[in-house]
Structure 1
């Protein structure tokens, strides 16, 4: 490990993780383990490495990389290694011998074609925990389709759970499928490490993006399969077609207010709309889908008309005073300046120099309330360091560089 890097004494200290992932789900999984103290070696291909280095969000870059990369690859070391070459694979095999975890998100069959699948690597190190993320799984008619977040949201029906009947399908603007898959793989890897402590053997953990977003929709999918008259989108802008009204977001004179599960009788009294009491008692039968959607729209419209008459702060204070669940809808500017938010942000320093604000690790441990963090690695920043640390001689490392099997950061060669 770089002696100048912050010392992280988290619960995974001492574990070595080989990160062969790109994009979001895999890198977020390994970053999370790095925040917990593991030594994460990010193995990147020659010719550019992880494409999230240059695939930006709204064109935003920092320290020569896209912010998409620096936010998903902190607490890692970067090694550029050509795994398509025999010499590159031999280097990986040497690193696998004392690795605890390897994570990859190649498309199905790519790992076996490269000779870095679980069967091959576990024969080298039976204690290896091997994590895999795929888009649609390893079999089935969709297995070779690109596992991109929006495409998986659309495939699994999620985009039809909100919005208006007259509008476009309503996708999440976040990479929620990737994030969910990253959490599941982290959980699986940690469970496999616990099992290894008992059995002495590693194992493979497989997570697909489809299974991840299906688990996130477990309530909706099970409810859909349990009724002959599932809800549909209607005329009013629904946050979720599955939630009972007035669940949703409403316009006020100067902003928007979110309402969660509230008692219509209490809401009727507090905001002065007695018609809501009548509407509560006139809910159509579950089997009458058309009437039920109209009933939902009638409630939404009645509440919307009232909330549109005053400021959002007025309604937030009034409803909260009466125990009704609500909240002001913020944009990022207001959210990031709110005093509640500050404890979840951190300032980091990049190896190229300069500070930046970002989101702090979400998991806090009592033994290390403030984990040691270091910025994302420059492309190939640690190639020489990692190779020498893997037991290769200086002459072997120099030959790998000369043959372009491995590449060091320009100033390090």
Structure 2
């Protein structure tokens, strides 16, 4: 495993931190997460997901403002290679984390909302980036997910820099991750009427007898095959796809090597996961 032998101490709670930690564990790292006395809010909000992300993570509860707990934390850090945090820069400074990381020659990776101390979470980062298109909250926490992946990359970069004897402090800014995600909209790729936002007949959502399918025949060879077998215009596709069931069109896609899949709801996926767990249990 690429991170076999690497020890990580994480203070990163909520969502980006646990997501990053789970990925680091999957790559071979040994991770201890230090949670405050109140615990990680993710556990209360999504207990199943919390358990999934912490499956192979050692979790300890410490109050870093209490001398004995602080000593325990510094003992953990003294044996670590990486320190991962997810708090505002001023809070990390008050806890002396930058100097602690430097003293122990740690690869230090911070997940922050902004480079300054402005407060924020995924919802505000997406709002600032122009990713919210209605009055409803987003279905996917894009900034948190991208931030977690960037944090994993930052860990690799920090370890390389540390091994080279160079300053290894890395900072992942969630607001920047949301801004980068919005590039698809800014550059006219997605959004209403854009190529991947309904502007291409061969790339869209179509109704079937009992639901909807997503058709993504964007490459020329897919588009040509779709046109010859089903239809090449939106009107043709709409009329033809509406004649059969979603399952039938998924089978058709597999048989003819076309990207046609059912549009699933979150409740459908959750029910499927529960069925799989029941069968495994």
TM-score range, shorter chain: 0.7 to 0.9
2:115 to 138, 148, 160: 138
Can you list the C-alpha shifts for 1:212-251, whole angstroms capped at 9, x where unaligned?
Answer: 2333344443x24xxxxx98636xxx99437633422111
- Residue pair 1:260, 1:326 contacting (<8 A) in 2 also: yes
Does residue 159 (structure 1) correspond to residue 159 (structure 2)? The answer is: no
User: TM-score, length-normalised on structure 2?
Assistant: 0.81
TM-fit CA distance, 1:261? 3.1
| 2:206 match: secondary structure | strand
SS at match of 2:197: coil
Alignment of 1:189 onto 2:155: yes
**Residues 1:248 and 2:221 aligned together:** no
Q: Counterparts of 1:252-331 in structure 2 under 5 Å?
A: 252-262=208-218, 267-271=226-230, 276=233, 299=234, 303-318=237-252, 321-331=255-265
Residue segments in structure 2 that go unaligned for 5+ positions in a row: none
Distance 1:215 1:173, change over 3 A: same
Inter-partner Cα distance in structure 2 for 1:270 and 1:219: 31
Instruction: Return the offset for 1:333.
Output: 7.5
Q: Distance in 1 between matches of 2:191 and 2:17?
A: 34
Question: CA shift at 1:317, angstroms?
Answer: 4.1
Distance change (3 Å), C-alpha of 1:356 and 1:310: closer
- Equivalent pair of 2:206/2:241 in contact (CA under 8 Å): yes
8 Å contact from structure 1 (residues 158, 171) kept in 2? no
**Using CA pairs below 8 Å that are at least 6 residues apart, which structure has the higher relative contact order?**
1
Q: Which aligned pairs between 1:345-384 and structure 2 lie closer than 5 A?
A: none
TM-superposed CA distance for 1:41, in Å, is 1.5
Deviation at 1:34, TM superposition (A): 2.2
Partners of 2:69 and 2:279 in 1: how far apart?
A: 35
Q: Does 1:18 align with 2:9?
A: yes
User: Aligned in 2, Cα 1:110/1:337: closer, same or farther, shift over 3 Å?
Assistant: closer
Counterpart of 2:25?
Answer: 34
Q: Note the alpha carbon deviations across 1:319-378, whole angstroms, 9 max, x for none.
A: 55555432223346866898xx9xxxx97xxxxxxx9979xxxxxxxxxxxxxxxxxxxx
Contact 1:34 1:76 in 2 (8 A): yes
Cα distance in 1 between the residues matched to 2:135 and 2:225: 33
Indicate if the aligned counterparts of 2:253 and 2:261 stay in contact, CA closer than 8 A.
Answer: no
Alignment counterpart, residue 180 of structure 1, candidates 146, 151, 154 = 146
Work out whether residues 12 and 36 of structure 1, in 8 Å CA contact, stay in contact via their aligned partners in 2. yes
Return 5+ residue gaps in structure 1 as ranges: 1-9, 57-65, 161-167, 225-229, 277-298, 348-354, 359-413
Q: Which has the larger radius of gyration?
A: 1
- Cα gap change, 1:154/1:242 in structure 2, threshold over 3 Å: closer, same or farther? farther
Please give the per-residue CA displacement for 1:392-413, whole angstroms capped at 9, x wherever unaligned.
Answer: xxxxxxxxxxxxxxxxxxxxxx
Residue in structure 2 matched with residue 200 of structure 1 by the alignment: 165
Higher helix share: 2
Tell me, yes or no, if the aligned pair for 1:108 and 1:144 is still in contact at 8 Å: no
1:99 is paired with a residue whose SS is: coil
Q: Quick one: structure 1 residues 331 and 55, their matched pair in 2 at CA, closer, same or farther if it must change by over 3 Å?
A: closer
